[in-house]
Structure 1
Amino acid sequence: MAMYDQFAFIYDSLMSDIPYDKYAEWVQKHAPTSTYKKLVDVGCGTGVLSVQFAKDGFDVTGLDLSESMLTMAQKRSIENDTSISLICQSMTEIDGIANMDVAVIAIDSLNYLETLEDVEQTFHHVYESLVDGGQLFFDVHSLYKMDVIYPDGPFTYEDEDVTYIWHTEQGDVAHSIYHDITFFVRDESGYYEKFEETHFQRTFPLETYTDLLEKVGFSTISVSTSVFEEQPEDEVERYFIHAVK
C-alpha cells in the first residue's frame, strides 16, 4: 500500500475538486449526530473529512497508515480548533477501536488494498469496531474507471506551485492500475523540486463488495452513484456503498 510520503504535503491541492461537503452530507443523512456520536475515519489522509465530521458534531478518530498524512491531519485539526484522535494503523489490522457508531472509508481508500482477502479482513475489523446498528460508508472505483478511464492516460496538472505528469499502466491482476506520478513543486525561492511516487490501486465488481459485506455480517446494504453528481448508468466511475451492522 502506498505510504504517500512526500505526496502528503501536496495532496490537498491535487484533491481540491473533491466535494468533501457532499460526502459529509451523505453520512449525516443516514447517521445524524443527534443519534450517532462516535465516528472512525479509516484512511483519513490529511484529515479533510475528519475535521468536517468533527465540526458536524461527531467524536472523531482518524486512522491512516501514513505518518506524513497524519502529521498534516493533526495540523489541520489544530488550525480548525477541533479535537481528533489520530492513530497510525493499517485498515487491514484495525486494533483497539471499538464501540463506534459510524465508520467511513472515503475517496477510494479501499482501492489501495491489493487482495480480496485484504478487503474482507478490513470489512471484518470495521464490523467488529461498530456497535450493533452501527453504519459503514465507503466508495470504490468502478470497473469502468479502472479498465477504460485510467488506461487513457497520461494525465497532467499545472498551477503556479505544482505540476505533475501522471502515467498509468494496467496491473498484472484484473481491474488494477499502477499510478506513476512525477511532481514538480516550487519552493520558496521559486525553484522547482522534482520527486516521484508510485501507487497501486485495484477494484472488484460491485457484487463482490456487497457479497463480502453480507459475509461478514452487514445488512441493509445500499448503493448510490449520485453522492457527488449524477453519473450515466454506463459510465459510472465511483460507487458509494452504505451498510448497517
Structure 2
Amino acid sequence: MSYEQFAYLYDELMSEAPYDEWVRFVKEKLENYGSLSGSRSTEPLRILDLACGTGELSARFAKEGFQVTGVDLSEDMLMVAKKKADAEGLAIPFYQQDMAELEGLGLFDVAGIFCDSLNYLKSEQEVVDTFSRVSVHLNQGGLFIFDVHSLYKVNEVFLERTYALNDDPISYIWNSFPGEEPNSVEHELSFFVLDENAGKYDRIEEFHYQRTFPTEQYSAWLDEAGFKLLDINADFEHIAPQADSERIFYIAQKK
C-alpha cells in the first residue's frame, strides 16, 4: 500500500475522526491499571505511537504530557507529522520504520497501534513479528494498547459497499470488496482533488488492503510475545465486545 499522494489528503479526510476518544481511552486505561512498574515516577510516561500517520495522535499525547515517539512506514506521512509538530512547538521525534521490524528505539512505558493500523499488515507473520518487536521496546510491566476492526465490520459492514462524497476541495468514490484471505477486505478509492491554480480536479487512485483475525488468535499471539492480556473492549467503551461491535481494543501488559 502506498500513501505517497494519500498522505497529503489524509488530514482533511480524517477531520472528523475521534482522535480525542483514543487519547481519553488510553488515559483511562492507564488510570485503571495504576502506575506502570517500568515507568519512572519523576518523568513523563514514554509512549511509542506506531503507525502514527500524520501525527494527530502523537501531538495530542504530547500535549497531555507524554514523552512521545512516532513511527510510520510512510516518509510522506512523517513529513506531514513533523511539519505539524514543529508548527505547534512539540518536540516529537519521528522515525521511518516498519513496525514488524522495529529496532533501536529504546524502552517505553506504553506502546500503541491505533486507528486500526494493525489491520494493514497482510500476513499472520507480520502481526506476530510486530507483537514481538513491541515487547522488546517496552519496559517490564509496560502497556500495549491497540485497536482493530472486528470480524463483523470486515465481513458485514465493509464488504460489497460503495461510499461516496461530493464536496470541495475533495470528492471520492470508495468501493470495498472481499479480499483473498479470510476476514480481509480490499478498498479501491478514487479521489478527485481540486487544483485551484489550474481550475480543475486531479484524480488520484488508491488501493488499500485490510485483514483482521478472531479474538482468540490475537490473544494467543500476545501470549507468545510475552504479554498478559488485561482486557478486551469495544468501540471506545470499557465493555466487552458485542456481536455488532465494530472496533475492538486490546490492552496487554508485558510480563
2:249 is aligned to 240
Q: Which runs of 5+ in 2 are unaligned?
A: none
Within 5 Å, which residues of 2 pair with 1:33-112?
Answer: 35=41, 37-112=45-120
1:224 maps to 2:230: no
Once the two structures are overlaid, the 10-residue window that deviates more, 230-239 or 81-90, is 230-239
What SS does the corresponding residue of 2:159 show, helix, strand or coil?
helix
Shift of 1:221: 2.4
Alignment CA distance shift 1:80-1:231 (3 Å): farther
Q: What is the distance in 2 between the residues matched to 1:224 and 1:117?
A: 24
Deviation at 1:209, TM superposition (A): 0.7
**Deviations 1:28-49 (CA, angstroms, capped at 9, x unpaired):** 1233699561111000000000
Show CA shifts across 1:171-202 (max 9, x none). 11101111110000012234211110111110
Query: Counterparts of 1:38 and 1:3 in 2: how far apart (Å)?
Result: 29
Q: Which amino acid aligns with 1:6?
A: Q
**1:205-236, CA deviations, whole angstroms, 9 ceiling, x for partnerless residues?**
11111111111111142111131698982211
Measured in 2, the distance between the counterparts of 1:6 and 1:130 equals 33
Equivalent residue number for residue 9 of structure 2 = 10
Aligned CA RMSD, in angstroms, stands at 1.9
Distance 1:205 1:232, change over 3 A: closer
Partner Cα separation in structure 1 for residue 46 and residue 238 of structure 2: 28
Count of paired positions: 244
- Give 1:51 shift: 0.3
Q: Counterparts of 1:178-217 in structure 2 under 5 Å?
A: 178-189=186-197, 190-217=199-226
- 8 A Cα contact 1:140 1:239, kept in partner: yes
Q: 2 CA distance for matches of 1:100 and 1:16?
A: 29
1:168 to 169, 176, 182: 176
SS at match of 1:10: helix
Further displaced range: 196-205 or 11-20? 11-20
> Is the Cα contact below 8 Å between 1:136 and 1:244 reproduced in 2?
yes
Assess, with a 3 A threshold, how the Cα gap between structure 1 residues 23 and 5 changes in structure 2: closer, same or farther: same
1-structure distance, mates of 2:135, 2:87: 32
Given that residues 92 and 119 in structure 1 are in contact (C-alpha distance below 8 angstroms), is that contact kept between their aligned partners in structure 2?
A: yes
Deviation beyond 6 Å, 4+ runs, structure 1: 228-232
- Once the two structures are overlaid, the 10-residue window that deviates more, 134-143 or 10-19, is 10-19
With normalisation by structure 2, the TM-score equals 0.91
* Alpha-carbon distance between aligned partners in 2 of 1:182 and 1:6, rounded to the nearest angstrom: 12
Letter in 1 for 2:234: T
1:17, CA displacement in angstroms? 2.3
SS of alignment partner, residue 177 of structure 2: strand
